[in-house]
Amino acid sequence: MSHVIGIDLGTTYSCIAYLEGSQPVVIPNLEGLQTTPSVVSFTSTGERLVGTLALRQAITNPRNTIFAVKRLVGQKFASPEVQKARERLAYRLVEAPNGDVLVSLDSRSLSPQEISSMILGYLKTCAESFFGGKVTDVVVTVPAHFNDHQRQATKDAAQICGLNVQRVINEPTAAGLAYGLNTGNNGTAAVFDLGGGTFDITLLEISDGVFNVLATNGDSYLGGEDFDNRVLEWLVEDFRRETGLDLAPDKLALQRIKEAAEKAKRELSFTLETEINLPFISSDKSDSKHIRKVLTRGTLEALTADLVEKTVPHIEKALADARLGPESIGQVILVGGQTRMPMVKKKVTEFFGRVPEEHINPDEIVAMGAAVQSGILHGRVQDLVLLLDVTPHSLGIETENDGYEVIIDRNATIPTHKTKAFTTVEHNQRRVKIHVLQGESPLASLNVSLAVFELVGIEPAPAGVPQIDVTFEINADGLVQVSATDVETGRQHKIEIRPSSGLMPSEVKEIMRSLGEGEGKPGADG
């Protein structure tokens, strides 16, 4: 019997699950743990480590230990997010020939997709060890607010390590599936998903096995990493005041501080204060310098209060799109490790006027939901008959003067299709260029470009006379097809938008071939 697994590929931790009977079950990794650090490290001997063993390399081998790579997937090197990340990361980022971001190691450069594939490959090995047989099919989750490039990059990463992606599902939607199956509750639910690198809020209606996503919103660059960095910045600034030494240029010191900051943050979810002790963090002509500091929960909350507040406008936008008020929400589900922070729980409780559900592990619920989706696809879950998801970003075309005409609004239920009529802007214009975009800005140049094609053979006529019907179609997998038709002549041009991750299909195959020849054998993974 072939097994289909669900994978939550997280920024800081990842998780695998499968469907046993009709219930999702988490698959432990090779060390018997329920979650795996999303970390890859390369030792001086060329050995590749993944997971806990890789995480242990973060202090001693920071230049070749890669974490939080999910934040780099599908991104351009010049983007503000990547440039900001470069300031703190111990490993180097460089620009690829096509403008994408690459991770620069001592001996080579790797794309974020390749790093992600190593994490997925390790999880695949864990599943195969658990089942005692080959595993190839997977449902993989992504943040609801990931754009097409980021989703395709995730699919490419899975393909590189030999996984066949049967469906890409939004993380909050997956959590809603797992929650609905576990409780059998009907009503309107809000999934508040604050993980290591991203934030999503999704509103969905559950009714007798039908899961209808009403709206989603979020921020692909807001998560636990940002909370850790606030503590890091506080410690670095305090050390500078006390000693006059700036630790910012010292990547090794920053990595030690970051690790201590994350540990302290986690502890403060369960205690009111904790001590951060980092001996020999630096030195000057007189002696060695140390960090010894007590961090209280109150100080942590003061340092990060604005990060928690940043979630509120996204919740409000999702509610507005769904035409709902906070009082209409029956259940609130917390997802992601950062939701363990008491201040986050308090803010969510205050906003919705109800205490969130906490009986499902926030680190495991997304992978469990992915496993449920695999059961729906294969007809093994009879109680869940339909999942109606939405497109997270608006889709449209560029118009004159850098304009952007939306054709399908964000949060439209998929599958869907919609047609809008356009015309020419010049007399006797024989062709029109259709530039397909994704995003919310009224300026075309500020949105994501998906494709460009031309409709030719328009009958000569004064500007404004020809009617060009542009139709967008999105299927259940989120695949976009765009067509343009000259109503007068019936001429049509159609294009299927196959989003690019930055890697060409030939490059993906070449990476798969090189791995098949022995580079980074699975047995070397930790």
Enumerate the active-site residues. Answer: 8, 70, 171, 193
Residues contacting 506, CB < 8 A, separation 6+: none
Written as one letter, the residue type at 325 is G
- Residue 492 in contact with residue 481, Cβ under 8 Å? no
Give the Å distances, CA to CA, from 394 to 13, 76, 307, 468, 505.
Answer: 30, 21, 26, 20, 26
CA dist 188 and 331 (Å) reads 7
Neighbours of 259 (CB within 10 A): 16
3-state secondary structure 421-460: EECCCCCCCCEEEEEEEECCCCEHHHCEEEEEEEEECCCC
Hey, what are 463's tokens? 């500007």
Q: What DSSP character marks residue 287? A: -
Which DSSP string do the residues of 257-288 spell out, in sequence order?
A: HHHHHHHHHHHTTTSSEEEEEEEEEEE-SS-E
Distance in angstroms between the alpha carbons of the first and the last residue of the chain: 27
CA dist 27 and 35 (Å) reads 9
Longest dimension (CA), the chain: 85
Calculate ∠ Cα 514-520-521, nearest 5°: 100
Q: At what angle do helices 148-160 and 505-516 cross, to 10 degrees?
A: 30
CA dist 376 and 22 (Å) reads 10
Q: What is the helix, strand, coil percentage profile of the chain, to 5?
A: 35, 30, 35
Strand 92-95 vs strand 101-104: parallel, antiparallel, or unpaired? antiparallel
Task: Please report where in the chains the tokens 């096509």 appear, as a residue.
Answer: 98
Residues contacting 263, CB < 8 A, separation 6+: none
Hey, what are 187's tokens? 């009503």
Neighbours of 344 (CB within 10 A): 23
